Structure 1
Amino acid sequence: MAEVRRRKPDPAKDVPAAEPDTDSESEPVEDVQPKEPVPPTKRIAEEDASSPIWLEILRVLAFLFIASCGLSYLISAGETFTWGMKNPPNYLQAKWWKAQIRGPVYMTMSELAQYDGRDQSKPIYLAINGTIYDVSANRRTYGPGGSYHFFAGTDAARAYVTGCFAEDRTADMRGVEEMYLPIDDPTIDNRYWTPEELEKMREEEMKEALQKVHEGLLHWVNFFAHSKKYTRVGYIKRPKDWLSNEPRRKLCESAAGNRKTRTPPEGK
């Protein structure tokens, strides 16, 4: 009887038949997608959304405090971080804003005299060259007993130049230039100069003296006009011919005492 030889199975060809699908519905296969990276801004927003409300308030307050310190430092030119400026700029002062809204006031000399500091309920005003300023910020100096109380409640432009505070509480500047003029001494003048030379010399001396008076008064006018401590209030009301009704003043003793005679030319 012949021997029956069996063929070895070939894996490439002998593939088992697929099992019949006995279920009515096949199971769904989960579609797995790779996760996209979360943008930093979205992550921060999600974290902020989960932050407690008290933490948000604390952040806002901290920012406002730092911003306030920086702004104070810039406005005060490095003077302070806390708005504790000794002389805050005008736009940070309530009285400055009131003056801007109200506009300048016009006072007679008798009205200005009521603001000399004796009445504590009123500000202290002074005037120079017709312009009124509020100097209440320095009440100790301009108030009663202060070293500059002579200037309060009046226009003492003359005193700013002569230095005679008590005697020259007036805006009459006539004759102030004499303090810069030499004293005429015939024994010296006629010896060294001819009449023509003296006349020309006196003209130059007068011109220089008037310029010194102008510069001396202008210094104080600018001092108050550019001050961060004092504010401009308004102006003095005077009649146009007020000087014609004022007696001409003599030069005060202190200013007159500084006058000298002309110095003889060198070599003579």
Structure 2
Amino acid sequence: MASTNASVRRRKPDPKEEAGNDGKIVAASEAEPIDSDEDKKKKARKSKKKSRNADDEDEYDKRDAAVDVLRVISFLFVVSCGLSYLISGGESFFWGMTRPPTYLRASWWKSKLSGPLYLTPDELAAYDGTDPTKPLYLAINGTIYDVSANRRTYGPGGSYHYFAGCDAARAYVTGCFAEDRTPDMRGVELMYLPIDDPTVDRHWSKAELAELKKKEMEEAQKRVHDNLKHWVDFFAKSDKYNFVGYVKKPKGWPGTEPVRRLCDTAAKQRKTRTIPGKEEKQ
């Protein structure tokens, strides 16, 4: 009986061992840990925190995103107003400038990207402002400018319409707008030369008179050059009129045409020489 009782007696499991799912004894260290109540509370708090953060993100997406967009738009609006004020010299906060800089005009960018135009005098004449669908061009000394920004002055009925659609360099100097719509400057210096008068000219010897006339011609040519240059620089430096291109002149020009007569307005300003030692008559 003693042996029988001994065989049915079971050994108490080692505290460090635990029966697995398949009935085998495994080490306690290999068994899955059992969470305590404190661990369960910590996990519950973490789960709630994650859920709260997700809710916060959803709330931000719906509410604060719209606010951020409004902030960006407001910032860009303020910057735009400031730039407009600076560029316009205090004229406008909203880009409503009467004379915007050239780099803000579409025509300026178009001319820069397309390159200079080369127009014959006949082709240039088509841009005299009579066709409102075309830009308004004028030329001076062979260079073409877009003066569409001032159609009231250069367009039909304007005070300077004579200059539109042509190169009227001569008229800028002589003042004969209708008669001198040409770039031919030959003979213009006569308007600055005195009239030969034998009664007055006899006060100089032949050699002295020849030297005097030479000096007078040099001065007259310089005045023509300076007067024309004034207008050439005016258009070249203008922030209102854009450079377009150049006029294609016929081969051999201006030698293919006769020298023009000095217009009456310019001829009338000529006077006789002043006799040495006497004041010029008023």
Give TM-score, length-normalised by structure 1: 0.78
How far apart are the structure 1 equivalents of 2:87 and 2:250?
43
The letter for the 2-side match of 1:261 is: T
User: In the aligned structure 1, how far is the partner of 2:166 from the partner of 2:159?
Assistant: 15
Give the match for residue 85 of structure 2.
Answer: 73
Query: Which residue is equivalent to 1:219?
Result: 230
CA distance in 2, matches of 1:120, 1:87: 20
Of 98, 104, 121, the match for 1:86: 98
3-state SS in 1 of match to 2:149: helix
| 2:216 corresponds to 1:210 | no
Partner of 1:113: 125
Q: CA deviation at 1:95?
A: 1.1
Counterpart of 1:233 in structure 2 is 244
Counterpart in the other structure of 2:190: 178
Alpha-carbon RMSD across the aligned residues, in angstroms, is 1.8
Residue 169 (structure 1) shift: 0.4
TM-superposed deviation, 1:59: 2.4
1:102-251 superposed matches below 5 A: 102-190=114-202, 192-251=203-262
Q: CA shift at 1:139, angstroms?
A: 1.0
CA distance in 1, matches of 2:265, 2:199: 25
Task: Note the alpha carbon deviations across 1:44-76, whole angstroms, 9 max, x for none.
Answer: xxxxx7974443333222221221121112222
Give, as a single letter, the amino acid of the residue that structure 1 aligns with 2:177.
Answer: F
Displacement after TM superposition at 1:267 (Å): 5.7
Match in the other structure for 1:32: none
In the alignment, the residues of structure 1 paired with residue 78 and residue 98 of structure 2 have an alpha-carbon distance, to the nearest angstrom, of: 21
Q: Name the count of aligned residue pairs.
A: 220
Q: What runs of 5+ residues in structure 2 fail to find an aligned partner?
A: 1-59
2: CA distance, partners of 1:113 / 1:187: 48
Query: What displacement does 1:244 show?
Result: 1.1
Structure 1, unpaired ranges of 5+: 1-48
Q: Sequence identity of aligned pairs in percent?
A: 64
